[in-house]
Amino acid sequence: MNFSIITPADAAYDEWNNRGVNQRWKGHPSGIIPITTADELKDALQYAVDNNKRVAVRGGGHCLENFVGDPAVEIVIDISRMKGIRYDEEMNAIEVAAGATLGEVIETLDHRWGVLLPAGQHPAIGTGGHISGGAFGFLHRHHGLAVDYLYAVEVLCVNNERQVEKVIATREETDSNRELWWAHTGGGTGNFGIVTRYWFRAAGVNERDPSLLLPKSPEVLETMEMEWDWEQVDEHVFKQLTENFGEWAKMHSSADTEAGSLFATLFLSNKVTGKIMLKAVLSDCPEEIAEEFAAAISAGLGITGRAIRKPMRWVEFALQPFPDIFVEQRVAFKVKDALLRAPYTPAQIGVIYRYLTEHNDVPGGSVGLAFFGGKMNAVAADATAFPQRDSILATACTSGWLDAADEAKSVAWTRNIYQELFAQTGGVPVPGEQAGGCLIAHPDADMADEQFNKSGVPWHVFYYQDNYERLQRVKGKWDPCGIFRHRLGVEA
């Protein structure tokens, strides 16, 4: 064996086992195998398969659900030391090892070639588990999703004879493995095999120069932060502010919107936290759009908020974005998200107001709204496995807690507000006129539980819509023994 197994008897076990960001989930695998190369990874996976061990892979540790921390998982293969980012001449694409974090990708792409990958917002996220969920971030309105730049992927699959094989799948129409590439453009994580490398290059670009393969880093990046004192926010102001935010999204989310260079998130936290915050990112954004946005958000509020604009270098921002809300905390949390095709209605905003002002005992409860749309909506729903190309907003009901004694009430708060928000459709955002389903990057096992999803619509419709059958075929072909599974796994 060219790898070592850390068992519960080893002093290092707790540290390796505790790498998951969501402290709610901690598994008890009989072995953790840290690997540094793809060959070690192949052997480690073969070992798990040969010994009939339920296996899961961990990269950046940012899984929201217990896909890795499931008590049923017996072997965890940890790929966080499998690093490497380079220009691959043969592929004419930027190659990223699956153990690289987003921060490493951001820094390397910017420093070496002055380019970026429009991926997620937290620099510590691992690319291995992140990219195949679609990967949205601060710049998806300007440049699309990270998967829109995915040229190829290398995956360790387990064949019918239970042998691990290395497969490279590209987006080339002539590639017989193309469906496996497609499944990694939004088909979720831990479904088909273990990704060892991704290659990125914009579609239609063939110049043999790494500085031309991906979008240029913005010349001018500016943050805009607005803040309102909760003491001054009554129900009328709250509704107006949330409606203003939704209205802007509605008016500026087409694929060719001029406001694609403006992304914003409205962070509606519990009243006891003292303030409501809006964070915007302007990437080479025309000044008139920035001003129009600030005015539209403040319209009719009747109270004065604080607004600060700050120019920064892209890399400086992306490596430490908005530290006051995007702080990397090791807390336990529950997230229930939904995509919206139309803004929240006044009645739904009333529900949010009530949950944020009448539940002092869940101070970590919040509702976030973030702009979707723009360039990411320029792609057809079946061109990648990420189908939600017509949403204008992503929303998340979240609660976080430090003390395990607060778990039950915090989780209940999150489930209850979500249930009320989508009461018309069985307590869940059934894709339709207003809702657009859910993001597999933010998996929520409740969706597969009739106690919480009373819509009669199966969980996979929320995450994959019409793409699910195609994903099932990929699953049947590339994971015929069902080695890779979790609570929201694609089933053949």
Strand 75-78 relative to strand 55-58: parallel, antiparallel, unpaired? parallel
Q: Which residue of 17, 66, 121, 434 would you call a contact of ligand FAD, by CB under 6 A? A: 121
For ligand FAD, which stretch binds (CB under 6 A), given 157-165, 173-181, 190-198, 237-245? 190-198
CA-closest candidate to residue 121, choices 356, 371, 331, 306: 371
Q: For residue 125, with 0-12 CB atoms within 10 Å meaning exposed, 13-18 middle and 19 or more buried, which class applies?
A: buried
- Contacts for 438 with CB less than 8 Å, ≥ 6 apart: 337, 338, 339, 429, 444, 447, 462, 463
CA-closest candidate to residue 41, choices 79, 12, 5: 79
Q: Residue 117, interface with ligand FAD (CB under 6 A)?
A: no
- Contacts for 89 with CB less than 8 Å, ≥ 6 apart: 208
CA-CA distance, 314 to 48, in Å (whole number)?
42
Q: Residue 317, interface with ligand FAD (CB under 6 A)?
A: no
Residues 428-447 binding ligand FAD (CB under 6 A) are 441-442
Q: At its nearest, how many Å lie between ligand FAD and the CB of residue 17?
A: 13
Q: Which is nearer to ligand FAD, 20 or 218 (CB)?
A: 20
- Are 356 and 270 within 8 A, CB to CB? yes
For ligand FAD, which stretch binds (CB under 6 A), given 186-194, 391-399, 410-418, 451-459? 186-194
Q: At its nearest, how many Å lie between ligand FAD and the CB of residue 60?
A: 2
Q: Which is nearer to ligand FAD, 65 or 406 (CB)?
A: 65
Q: At its nearest, how many Å lie between ligand FAD and the CB of residue 101?
A: 8
- Are 144 and 378 within 8 A, CB to CB? yes
Q: Which residue of 47, 113, 136, 293 would you call a contact of ligand FAD, by CB under 6 A? A: 136
Q: Residue 67, interface with ligand FAD (CB under 6 A)?
A: yes
- Are 35 and 81 within 8 A, CB to CB? yes
Q: Outline where 203-306 has alpha helix (H).
A: 235-251, 287-298
- Are 229 and 205 within 8 A, CB to CB? no
For ligand FAD (CB under 6 A), the number of binding residues is: 35
Q: Which residue of 6, 33, 44, 62 would you call a contact of ligand FAD, by CB under 6 A? A: 62
CA-CA distance, 33 to 24, in Å (whole number)?
22
- Are 47 and 1 within 8 A, CB to CB? yes
Q: Which residue of 24, 42, 130, 475 would you call a contact of ligand FAD, by CB under 6 A? A: 130
- Are 325 and 277 within 8 A, CB to CB? yes
Helix (H) or strand (E) segment spanning residue 336: strand 332-340
Output the six-digit token pair for 402: 């430090």
Residue type, 71: P
For ligand FAD, which stretch binds (CB under 6 A), given 43-51, 119-127, 352-360, 453-461? 119-127
Q: Which residue of 31, 128, 210, 305 would you call a contact of ligand FAD, by CB under 6 A? A: 128
Binding mask 13-52 for ligand FAD (x = CB under 6 A): -------xx-------------------------------
Q: Which is nearer to ligand FAD, 149 or 228 (CB)?
A: 149
For ligand FAD, which stretch binds (CB under 6 A), given 61-69, 221-229, 355-363, 416-424? 61-69
For ligand FAD, which stretch binds (CB under 6 A), given 187-195, 217-225, 238-246, 447-455? 187-195
CA-CA distance, 219 to 284, in Å (whole number)?
6
Q: Which residue of 170, 177, 185, 189 would you call a contact of ligand FAD, by CB under 6 A? A: 189
Within 13 Å of residue 424, how many CA atoms lie on the same side as its CB?
A: 12
Residue type, 345: T
Q: Residue 341, interface with ligand FAD (CB under 6 A)?
A: no
Q: Which is nearer to ligand FAD, 59 or 387 (CB)?
A: 59
Q: Which residue of 29, 31, 34, 137 would you call a contact of ligand FAD, by CB under 6 A? A: 137
Q: Residue 61, interface with ligand FAD (CB under 6 A)?
A: yes
For ligand FAD, which stretch binds (CB under 6 A), given 64-72, 274-282, 355-363, 383-391? 64-72
Q: Which is nearer to ligand FAD, 16 or 294 (CB)?
A: 16
Q: Residue 126, interface with ligand FAD (CB under 6 A)?
A: yes
CA-closest candidate to residue 334, choices 417, 425, 435, 448: 417
For ligand FAD, which stretch binds (CB under 6 A), given 126-134, 160-168, 390-398, 471-479? 126-134
Q: Residue 279, interface with ligand FAD (CB under 6 A)?
A: no
- Are 43 and 2 within 8 A, CB to CB? yes
Q: At its nearest, how many Å lie between ligand FAD and the CB of residue 424?
A: 27
- C-beta atoms surrounding 491 within 10 Å: 13
Q: Which is nearer to ligand FAD, 282 or 457 (CB)?
A: 282
In the block, residue with structure tokens 């339709």: 432
The residues binding ligand FAD (CB under 6 A) are: 20-21, 56-64, 67-68, 79, 98, 120-122, 125-126, 128-130, 133-137, 189-190, 194-195, 441-442, 486
